[in-house]
Amino acid sequence: MRIAQTRLSIATAPREIKEITAEVARWVEHQPIAIGLLTVYLPHTSASLLIQENASPDVLRDLDTFLRRLVPEDVALYRHNDEGPDDMPAHIKSALTQTQLTIPVTDGRIQLGVWQGILLLEHRASPHTRSLVLTLVGEDHDHPPADARLRHA
């Protein structure tokens, strides 16, 4: 069993939904692990992660519009406004989505569907640099797990 881990820094624009598939895939492809599981973890409370369609920009616009409608920025609605009117809405959006993803890796490549991409959602009204912790656990081609050896035999 091998483990590889890194921390990526991703700059975000205000309220941006940013596709980060290429950055994540590039790191995985440079690891000596052929089959395993990748965990993408975002240690922030005002940003989140999704796996979602990456072909149509309308999907990103519709997600943004829906989240803004669902969780409005209105200081009268929330007690927690320490960092401004976008503070609590950012926390709620993060709670409704995800801060961790698990993605299978086969032949050294992440296994996403044809129309899927990894998205980083910035919920704050100002730019940030977000950290991602990538952890890949698995085996290399020379030492696959027993059931993988049977499958490839």
Looking up residue 86, the CATH number of its domain turns out to be 2.60.120.460
Summarize pLDDT for 61-86 with one digit per residue, the tens. Answer: 999 999 999 999 998 999 998 899 99
Summarize pLDDT for 115-127 with one digit per residue, the tens. Answer: 999 999 999 999 9
The CA-CA-CA angle for residues 101, 13, 125, to 5°, reads 95
Q: Could you tell me the residue range of the domain that residue 120 belongs to?
A: 2-152
Q: CA nearest 20: which of 68, 69, 63, 60?
A: 60
Q: What is the pTM of this model?
A: 0.90
How many domains are there within the chain?
1
Beta strands across the sheet bearing 100-106 = 2-12, 128-139, 35-41, 100-106, 109-110
Q: CA nearest 133: which of 59, 44, 13?
A: 44
Please give the pLDDT value at position 141: 72
Summarize pLDDT for 19-48 with one digit per residue, the tens. Answer: 999 999 999 999 999 999 999 999 999 999
